[in-house]
A and B are shown apart, each in its own frame.
Chain A
Amino acid sequence: DAGVTQSPTHLIKTRGQQVTLRCSPKSGHDTVSWYQQALGQGPQFIFQYYEEEERQRGNFPDRFSGHQFPNYSSELNVNALLLGDSALYLCASSLGQVNQPQHFGDGTRLSIL
């Protein structure tokens, strides 16, 4: 039973470019959350998708957007990349029920030059 998978594992972009990161949830999970983790800090919540809609959003600008597909997989898009967007981007999936733990992938390491 595959866990949460993310692609790519590493990515290098330059300032001003756009990037798309992908996430496949754990089998049976229908909710996907995205987190940004800067070096030496804990993950920060970006947003969450359920039933193909954004259900919750953290304190991130509109440059960060996402999408969830009918098969529950998800994409995170970041436009107009800044140097400060360099981070580990984590995807977590869970069941759409209360009190269900989120399970994380190993993330995509994004470096902005």
Chain B
Amino acid sequence: DAKTTQPTSMDCAEGRAANLPCNHSTISGNEYVYWYRQIHSQGPQYIIHGLKNNETNEMASLIITEDRKSSTLILPHATLRDTAVYYCIVRAIKAAGNKLTFGGGTRVLVKP
């Protein structure tokens, strides 16, 4: 699986959009981009994933560049409960249930 690079930490203002970048320059054509987050003392929570088109769900939006070498997770209106470590993961499309390879993630602090 391709490696990802994320900023170590970032602060966001409550009520504003939070834009979390991720670089995955070695991504191959059969690899998806997944985002998870982990709130303190809880297990990782699935947020969203995509292949090449932009995706949106009730939690966030995922913007993938045309060359697929980077992506941005957007939390449209950050709340204090969005404070967490956010992981960007590249995962191959293989036989069922391929493993997730976590990096260090981005520690996001939402401030009032």
- Taking Cβ atoms with an 8 Å cutoff, the residues of A that contact B are 4, 31, 33, 35, 41-45, 48, 50, 55-56, 58, 90, 92, 94-107
Contact = CB atoms under 8 A, between A and B. Distances in A.
A27 B87 CA distance: 25
Interface string B34-57: 100000011111100100000000
Chain B interface helix/strand/loop/mixed? loop
Interface stretch (B13-21, B75-83, B100-108): B100-108
A13 B15 CA distance: 44
A42 B45 contact: no
Which of B32, B100, B104 gathers the greatest number of chain A CB atoms within 10 Å?
A: B100
B108 to A, nearest CB: 15
Contacts of B102: 35, 42-44
B97 A48 contact: yes
25 contacts: A4-B43, A33-B99, A35-B100, A35-B102, A41-B104, A42-B87, A42-B102, A43-B44, A43-B100, A43-B102, A44-B102, A45-B101, A50-B97, A55-B97, A56-B98, A92-B44, A95-B96, A95-B97, A96-B97, A98-B93, A98-B95, A98-B96, A98-B98, A102-B97, A106-B42
